[in-house]
Chains A and B, each alone.
Chain A
Amino acid sequence: GAGVSQSPSNKVTEKGKDVELRCDPISGHTALYWYRQSLGQGLEFLIYFQGNSAPDKSGLPSDRFSAERTGGSVSTLTIQRTQQEDSAVYLCASSPLLSAKNIQYFGAGTRLSVL
């Protein structure tokens, strides 16, 4: 079946504008993660959804960041009043969480540029 799909692949916005990034996980995967990757850096955890449980928002860097996961499937990451330091690649991953093996399947990411 299809892998994790993210849209848009690239987004250029002006400082102060809001942006929405979308993630379509693999069908049937119960867990969904958002990470941020700055140039040449590792992945920074942002938020985690698992089934119907309350999301783990501990990685969100500020209250300008929020995310939703509707119907246990598609997720949207929203960044309000974007700042230049928000420029990064935003990666989404999903996992079936089988046998406590948290193997994650990643989308290609959305490259966000804030001018």
Chain B
Amino acid sequence: SQQGEEDPQALSIQEGENATMNCSYKTSINNLQWYRQNSGRGLVHLILIRSNEREKHSGRLRVTLDTSKKSSSLLITASRAADTASYFCATDPSGNTPLVFGKGTRLSVIA
């Protein structure tokens, strides 16, 4: 069964706006990762946040992690049309086992 659940399922915004996607999970984790998938392509790793970290930045990406609430958020600032993709969170229970992916958030950035 899938552990990560993203919210919302779909999000449509104007270019330049910020996009926030949320992920909830059920069990304890070693780390949580976010991936992007462009239509018809494989997934690309964006950012990893460890269970003892609360916030992490990478370029226009900001990820937060609240282990007490078992939730994470991905913020994309100043969105661009090229950010249009599906975004998945993936939880890693132990660091060397299969990741557990959510169903993803489909982000559409309108120019």
| Size bracket of the B interface | 20 to 34
> Roughly how many angstroms separate A50 CA and B97 CA in the complex, as a whole number?
9
Nearest CB in chain A to that of B89: its residue: A42
* Complex contact B103–A104 (CB within 8 A): no
**Given that A50-B96, A102-B97 are known contacts, is A108 also in contact with B42, CB under 8 Å in the complex?**
yes
B28 to chain A, nearest CB (A): 15
DSSP class of B's interface residues: helix, strand, loop or mixed?
loop
A68 to chain B, nearest CB (A): 18
Chain B residues in 8 Å Cβ range of A106: 35, 42-44
Interface size of A in residues (CB-CB distance below 8 Å):
27
* Complex contact B45–A104 (CB within 8 A): yes
Q: Which of B87-111 contact A (CB under 8 A)?
A: 88, 92, 94-104
**Given that A100-B30, A101-B48 are known contacts, is A42 also in contact with B101, CB under 8 Å in the complex?**
yes
Which of the residues A41, A50, A100, A105 comes within 8 Å of B45, measured between beta carbons? A105
> Roughly how many angstroms separate A109 CA and B40 CA in the complex, as a whole number?
8
Cβ of B67 within 8 Å of any chain A Cβ, yes or no, is no
> Roughly how many angstroms separate A114 CA and B29 CA in the complex, as a whole number?
37
* Complex contact B98–A103 (CB within 8 A): no
B106 to chain A, nearest CB (A): 8
Q: From B2, B98, B102, B104, name the one whose CB has the most chain A CB atoms within 10 angstroms.
A: B98
B72 to chain A, nearest CB (A): 15
Which of the residues B41, B88, B92 comes within 8 Å of A43, measured between beta carbons? B88
Give me 13 other A-B pairs in contact (C-beta within 8 A), A42-B101, A91-B42 excluded. A33-B99, A42-B104, A43-B43, A45-B101, A50-B96, A91-B43, A97-B95, A101-B48, A102-B31, A102-B97, A104-B45, A106-B44, A107-B42
Residues of A within 8 A of B (CB): 4, 31, 33, 35, 40-45, 48, 50, 56, 59, 91, 93, 97, 100-109
